[in-house]
Structure 1
Amino acid sequence: MKSSISGTTMPVLEVTLDPGERIVAEGGDVAWMSAGFALDTSTVHGTGGQGGFMSGLKRVLGGAQLFLTEYTAPAQGGLVAFAAQLPGTIRQIDIDAADQFMVQAGSYTASTSDVQVSVGLQKKLGAGIFGGAGVVFQKLTGSGTAWVQLAGEITEYTLAAGQSLLIHPGHLAMFDASMDLQFTSIKGIKNKFFGDSLFLAEIHGPGRIWLQSMTPAKLAAAIEPYLPDRSSGSSNS
């Protein structure tokens, strides 16, 4: 299996598979692929074959889809491609017992079949964060390779033991699953969502974190003024 990531602000992940090799992704997320792939859509993909329908429901609670699709390459091999859904970057991460990751809901793109995707953290902070959906992270465990899409430009930090960082929850894209993450209210900072306080994620080392310069909520707010006003339409009936 070989992978390549091309493009700049809207990158594309292309994975070339040898005969019989498999890759898993959320249903319907494929952009294009060569002919001959066998597709199997199920709730157990991305769970190590465990959990079935209940594991699928947990993925839904974590902001993912109920079903995952497994793509198996034909006898001649083949290529499958996934396009980014937001301006940003696609990153490849290697997962094993020592390297497990928490990624913001919606970031998971695809993985090899032995990577397990589950709900890692769900915290409701109020109507101002992600339209009231709260903060949700998916946990990537198992053994294999995964690809995640992160929004905007990415800044990476490695925190030593005893170090911590306060981060707006929307900018925390990915971090080592072993790190301690808490949420704190900072008084005295007025903002349009919470009045005189601001909720920030407080993450503690040791471990690595990936911060994204763009958040889906801020992107939606930026383009909202340019969208048609559906309420202004009139009916001819």
Structure 2
Amino acid sequence: MRYDIEKRPSYAVLDVTLAEGEAIETEPGAMMTRSAGVEPETNVGGDGGLTGAVKRAVSDERGLVDNAFIAGADGASVTLVPEHPGDVTGIDVGERGPVRSQSGSLLAWEPGVERSTELNDRSNLFSSGELTVLGLAGRGMAFVSSYGSMYEADVTPDDPLVVDEDHLVAWTAGLDLNRRKDGSLKSTVLGGEGFVTEFRGSGHVWLQTRNPVTFGPVRAEHEDDDDGPGLGDFV
């Protein structure tokens, strides 16, 4: 598999080129184009299909379905796009070791990448209440998207990192996490919980430069509202 990320950072497009028999798995609705020789396959609930043993990560109804695109000839291609404006970054899961990702950021992955839902206190990291934490393990590339540009930071034992958790995209699994409220956050002013996560140890964190909790609800709330935005429309 070869890949190129174009139109970044604002409107990133992931262009994947496959050899015959290779495949890329994606979230529903991620495909923009594909070669005529690429065969799509839909897996429901992670049973059967291309890998037969995908560990499911159900964060919403769409989490029950994934798509696989299988090349019938060398040089077949698929272009993939996230559902929101922003960037896309590739993570070599085998090289980085296990990675944790917020469920809404995962765009695509190679079949060797195993996914699972992290059913512990980290599943409530995101104040939107709609996202969960995914575990990514195994070998291969995983592609994550950000709302806004992707920003990366290293964490060392001498330099912990404190993050507004709604800017979190992904992090390496070996990091220690400590979650707490922080009154300085924008979400607190607007009525949200205002949580930060402190990362300690040695590892890497991927962040998004825009907060979807602040921007996203406004659009949804005003589809049927002609009175203009108010403070309550941001929470």
Q: Which TM-score bucket, shorter chain as reference?
A: 0.7 to 0.9
Corresponding position: 1:168 with 2:164: yes
- Considering fraction of residues, name the structure with more strand: 1
Q: Is the 8 Å Cα contact of residues 155 and 203 (structure 2) preserved in structure 1?
A: yes
* SS of residue in 2 equivalent to 1:217: helix
Distance in 1 between the 2:211 and 2:171 partners?
16
Match of 2:87, SS state, is strand
2:40 is matched with 39
Cα distance change of structure 1 residues 45 and 168 upon mapping to structure 2, 3 Å threshold: farther
Rounded to whole Å, the distance in 2 between the matches of 1:63 and 1:200 is 28
The CA deviation at 1:182 is 2.2
Deviations 1:65-114 (A, max 9, x none): 11222211013541111113222111011111752211122111111111
Equivalent of 1:150 in 125, 129, 146: 146
8 Å Cα contact 2:20/2:73 also seen in 1: yes
CA contact (8 A) 2:30 2:82 kept: no
1:142-163, Cα deviation, whole Å (9 max, x unpaired): 1011111112123221111243
The residue that corresponds to 2:30 in the other structure is 29
Given the alignment of the two structures, is residue 211 of structure 1 paired with residue 207 of structure 2, yes or no? yes
1:3 matched to which residue of 2? 3
Two-structure CA RMSD over aligned residues (Å): 2.9
Q: Highest CA radius of gyration, 1 or 2?
A: 1
CA distance in 2, matches of 1:39, 1:188: 47
Give the superposition deviation at 1:47: 10
Q: Secondary structure at the match of 1:61?
A: coil
Tell me the residue number matched to 2:90: 92
The match for 1:119 is: 117
Contact map agreement 2:18 2:74 (CA 8 A) in 1? no
Task: Provide the rounded CA distance (Å) in 2 between the counterparts of 1:124 and 1:14.
Answer: 31
State how far apart, in whole Å, the 1-side matches of 2:143 and 2:48 are: 16
CA distance in 2, matches of 1:154, 1:86: 13
Which of 50, 55, 61 does residue 53 from structure 2 map onto? 50
Which amino acid in structure 1 is aligned with residue 12 of structure 2? P
Tell me, in whole angstroms, the C-alpha distance in 2 between the residues paired with 1:24 and 1:62: 18
Distance 1:44 1:77, change over 3 A: farther
Q: Kindly tell me: are residues 64 and 47 of structure 1, through their superposed partners in 2, closer, same or farther at Cα, counting changes over 3 Å?
A: farther
Amino acid at match of 1:199: F
Contact 1:97/1:141, CA 8 A, preserved across alignment: no
Q: Mind listing any 5+ residue stretches in structure 1 that lack a counterpart?
A: 232-237
Structure 2 counterpart of 1:112, which letter?
Answer: E
SS in 2 for 1:4: strand
Distance 1:124 1:206 in 2: 20
Q: Identity percentage over the alignment?
A: 26
Return the letter of the residue paired with 1:12.
V
Q: Give CA deviations for 1:171-212 in whole Å, capped at 9, x if unaligned.
A: 121111111122112368763325xx7321121121111221
TM-score, normalised to structure 2's length?
Answer: 0.80
CA displacement at 1:36 relative to structure 2 = 2.4
Instruction: Report if the CA contact (8 A) 1:97-1:142 is conserved.
Output: no
Structure 1 length as normaliser, TM-score?
0.80
Aligned residues: 219
